[in-house]
Amino acid sequence: MRVLIVKTSSMGDVIHTLPALTDALEHIPSIRFDWVVEEGFSQIPTWHRAVDRVIPVAIRRWRKNWFRHDIRAERRHFYQQLTSIHYDAIIDAQGLIKSAALITRKSRGTKHGLDWQSAREPLASWWYTHTYRMSKQQHAVEKIRALFAESLGYQKPTTQGDYAIAQHFVRNLPDDANQYLVFLHATTRDDKHWPESAWESLIDAVTARGMSVKLPWGSPVEYQRAVRLAEGRSNVEVLPKLSLSEVATQLAGARGVVSVDTGLSHLTAALDRPNITLYGPTDPLLIGGYGKNQYVIKGQPEGKMSEIEPVQVLEKLNSISCL
């Protein structure tokens, strides 16, 4: 059985889809998946053993110059790949008009997706052959697992979902594996940032106990923040610019991770690493870390990141044996 997945972005949403593939493989051992995903996240599906082919799409980049000659050529090549196979099932787990109209509609096969009341953008359901109603009051991972189960005709397991990608990195861990913490300090929204002074206090506390810290980054702004956090501090490493796979390798080797609400926090969860995620205004119940060894500290009482004290994080790190 060959199935096409349409789940293009964001990083966390793509990662949240992986346990559904594991479920499907357990119930249908012969199943194989192709996956349409935004080019920036195209490495992620390759880490799962059930994925045969990744079809990168670049809607985010294309829409800036939609009618330019080279962009039109890229789109033609994408649609050639998309329509080269007639699939037994197409599962649109994105639930957006953009993905449904530009991708799912043009793919070949029976199309499955969330119904009018369940999709993030209800009009997307017009392009599906079969639609399913899912409760919005459940974690995103469980919602996608339920969609796959309905679409492919098996009962959703009651056990916790398995991302099944941690083993991909076990054979190539860093030489200093289990001897460092990773602090994921970067996120997209200002109100999800933890104050730099709080990060500095935490870094000072953990390095005083002999633990080293690694700071990844993805943009010039994030790099400058990492440099400021590391300045004048021993046992703190600002990592070089890394690919997503290389970041995953560093996360897989970490003794533990402290993160803000960011896609890399979900990647940490998928790698089964102990992870303390700091939440301000966002709700961790529906989109928070899912998996083994995932812990939440939320700003109280007003849901502000500044309400989280470094000593709270330090105590949690100690209680989960990361120090």
- pLDDT digit string, tens, across residues 119-128: 999 999 999 9
Q: What are the b/e assignments for 223-256, b being 16+ CB within 10 Å?
A: bebbeebbeeeeebbbeeeeebeebbbbbbbbbb
Give the DSSP H or E segment for 4. strand 2-6
Q: In the predicted model, what is the mean pLDDT of residues 249-271?
A: 98
Instruction: Please determine, for residue 205, whether its predicted confidence score (pLDDT) is greater than 90.
Output: yes
The reported pTM is 0.95
pLDDT for the residue numbered 136 = 87
pLDDT for the residue numbered 206 = 98
For residues 146 and 127, what is the distance between their CA atoms, to the nearest angstrom? 20
Give strand ranges (E) for 93-242: 108-114, 130-132, 180-184, 212-215, 236-238
- pLDDT digit string, tens, across residues 128-177: 999 999 998 999 999 999 999 999 999 999 999 999 999 999 989 999 99
- Alpha helices in 153-258, H assignment, sequence order: 167-170, 196-208, 220-230, 244-252
Q: Are 230 and 156 in contact (CB under 8 A)?
A: no
Q: Quick one: pLDDT band at residue 283, thresholds 50, 70, 90?
A: confident
Q: What are the b/e assignments for 136-174, b being 16+ CB within 10 Å?
A: eeebbbbbbbbbbbbbbeeebeeeebbbbbbebbeeeee
Q: In the predicted model, what is the mean pLDDT of residues 230-235?
A: 96
For residues 9 and 299, what is the distance between their CA atoms, to the nearest angstrom? 27
- pLDDT digit string, tens, across residues 287-300: 889 999 999 999 99
